[in-house]
Structure formats: C-alpha cells, structure tokens
Amino acid sequence: MIAGLGMPSAAMAAPGTAVLATDDAPAAESESAVTVGVATRPAGEDGRPDGRSRFTFAADPGQTVTDRVLVGNTGTARQDFTVYATDAFNDDAGELSLLPTDATPTSVGSWIRFDDGSDRVTFGLEPQEVRLLTFTVAVPADATPGDHVGGVVASVLESGAQVTVDRRVATSVFARVAGDLQPQLSLTSYEASYQGDWWNPFSGHVQLHYTVSNPGNVALAANLTSGTRTWLGIPVTGEQGGKVPVVLPGNSASYESTVDGVGQWLYLNPFTTLSPFVESPDASMQVVVTPITRDAVAFAVPWTVLILGVLAALAVLFSRWRRRRDEVRAREWMDFVAETAAADAAALAGTRADGS
C-alpha cells in the first residue's frame, strides 16, 4: 500500500523539484473511467521516503554512488511500469524537461544502472502498490567537472482506441563531478520596449525581453532585480524582483518580465541585475557567483505633453502675431488721424487766407 508514502496523484511529481515530462498526445478515452497514477520519490536505506525531493550527488570521476527510489501506482487499475534514467534540458519556456523516451542519454542518464545491471526495469504494480528500486550511479573516469542533470523516470503506457499516451513522472538527479567548477550565467540578449496610453503620461510599463545562458558547468537559478532610470540616472520606478528557474550548463532560455509604473519621460534606461545561485537544499553544493547587470534604452514619447506644448506654443505665437498686427493697425490709424488733422488744418488756413 502507498498510504503514508505521500505520493502525488496521476502524472504529477513532487512539487517544484521533480521533473515532469509527458509525451505530447491527447488523453486516451476510457469507458471504465480507469485512472492512471504514477509516482516516484527518493528513499532511505530503510526503504521509506526520507524527505528528499530530488537526488543530489557529489562524486569524483570514477566513483560509484548507490541510492534508492520508490515507484508507486496511485491509479485505480494494475499498471505495467518501465523505470529508467535519462538526461534533462531546458525547454523553450525555460523549464526543466527530459529527453524523449526514444532518445539515448549521454550524461548522467547513461551512468545509472539498476540491481540487475540493466539501464531499465519493467514490472507490474497493483493499485496503491509501491516498489523499492536500488540503483547505482557510476561516474565515468573521464567525466567532465560540474553538474550533470537528469531524472529517474517511471513510465506507464496508456492505450486508447486511437493513441497510446506515455505517462512519465521523474525525480530529478543532480550529480556534481569534482574538478574545476565554473559557475556563470550571462544575459546574451536584453531588449526593452515601452507600452502605455498616449493620453496618460503618468501610467505605463516597460516590457523586458532577455535570454539567460549558462556557459559554465554548474546548474544555476537566479534572482532578478529590475528597474528603470531616466535622464541623469534618476530612478523613475522602485526596483522589482523576479526569478529565473534553473538553467543547466550549455543551455539557454528566453523570458519576459514587466516593470510597472513607468511614466512617459521620453528617454528611459531599463536595467536588470541577475544574481545567480545554486538551487539546492544541500548547503555544500553552494558556490559563489558574481551578479551581472544589463541595461537598454527605450523611448516613451509623452504625446499629451507634446500636444499641450505645441498648443501652448501656437497660442503664444498667435498672441504675439495678434499683438503685432494690432500695433501696426494702431500706428496706421494714428498716422491716418495725423494726416487727416494736418489736411484739415491746412484747408482751414487756406480758407482764412482767402477771406482776408
């Protein structure tokens, strides 16, 4: 029985740490409403769950490590299980995933063997039944230093009328080979764009697009700190946090994030600081990694301010034009009045001269 084992339900692994990889196929129909449940969990020497959520090893080249995994049937019918190991990688969304079932592992997945010396075992389990498997990790003598990541997979084939679905659940394996560790993450691309309502200069946000790559040999996650500055480096937002999931050595993944509350300052200088760390409950696996910062330039045109400025400038120009025109007309009127007065005076003087 699996009671007390704490196994998750169908097609779910230990939250946040186990690797889940299910083949991309529609669910098979079942007239008897049979559910398929697959679960895996690390076990201690006593054969019971020991609180670990993943397998973590540190070994020298040529060393062999032994461990145990519990495989359980949490479904409602007897199922045939195939258990094997494979390698992990970062998928397009940046999450940890596993190689397809028919792909041959070349890293830690190829180092694991079970009690009978094979790289996979097949057996049947009744509903709520669990089986303990012992396996060894034989690190090659020429293994490269750093982290090698994969998973111990439990697979159940669910046959339907039209398709067969491979239900796979795995507990992740992080194996660190001793040697020259080179922990490093890099922001290989970093772009920013401004989005907001043209009529509201005080509301908007900066959309960040960036790619995180791992050119080193240590699996690293990272905390993010993002913000936006403007002219003379003046901050226009508070710093906002975020996180990048584990990026495996040699892998990269693209992400998007948003910095809110950005006004239309015309010139914007968004930035992001990446603070890498080893995401492991084992303190001995931690390493020191230097944070990195990237920034970009974006433009947020304050159209409302510009329109109001143009209207104000036009009003000033019109006012000046109107004042100058009125001044010209006033001078012309004064000249006309003066000329008329002079003509009247001259005519009056002539009349007096004739009468005398």
pLDDT on residue 355: 64
Q: Give pLDDT, residue 18.
A: 40
**Which pLDDT tens digit goes with each residue over 53-62?**
999 999 999 9
Residue range 2-12: mean pLDDT, rounded: 35
Pick the CATH number of 196-301 from 1.20.120.420, 3.40.50.300, 1.10.1740.10, 2.60.40.10: 2.60.40.10
Dihedral sign for Cα 139, 141, 143, 146, please.
positive
DSSP summary character for residue 137: E
Which pLDDT does position 161 carry in this prediction?
A: 67
CATH code of the domain made up of 38-177: 2.60.40.10
Query: Contact, 227 vs 270, CB < 8 A?
Result: yes
Say how far residue 14 (Cα) sits from the centre of its chain: 21
| Cα torsion angle, 15, 16, 18, 21, sign | positive
Tokens linked to 333: 């009127």
Asked whether this chain's domains 38-177 and 196-301 adopt the same fold, the reply is yes
Q: Which amino acid is at 174?
A: F
Cα separation, 263 vs 276, whole angstroms? 30
Per the model's pLDDT, the better-predicted residue between 356 and 69 turns out to be 69
Q: What are the structural domain ranges in the chain?
A: 38-177, 196-301, 310-356
Q: Which class for 64: exposed (0-12), middle (13-18), buried (19 or more C-beta within 10 A)?
A: exposed
pLDDT tens readout for residues 189-234: 999 999 988 888 888 999 999 999 999 999 999 999 999 999 999 9
SS3 155: strand
C-alpha triplet 231, 236, 239: angle, nearest 5°: 125
**How many other CB atoms are found less than 10 A from the CB of residue 246?**
25
Query: What value, to the nearest 5°, has the Cα angle with vertex 18 and ends 14 and 19?
Result: 135
How confident is the model over 239-289, as pLDDT tens digits? 999 999 999 999 999 999 999 999 999 999 999 999 999 998 888 899 999
Q: Which amino acid is at 169?
A: V
d(CA 182, CA 139): 19
Instruction: Tell me the one-letter amino acid at 313.
Output: A
pLDDT attached to residue 136: 98
| 108-159: pLDDT as tens digits | 999 999 999 999 999 999 999 999 999 999 999 999 999 999 999 999 998 7
Asked whether 153 and 169 are in contact (CB, 8 A), the reply is: yes
What is the DSSP annotation of 157-192? EEE-SS-EEEEEEEEEEEEEE-S------EEEEEEE
Mean pLDDT across the chain: 87
Q: Quick one: average pLDDT of 158-162?
A: 75
Percent of the chain with pLDDT over 90: 67
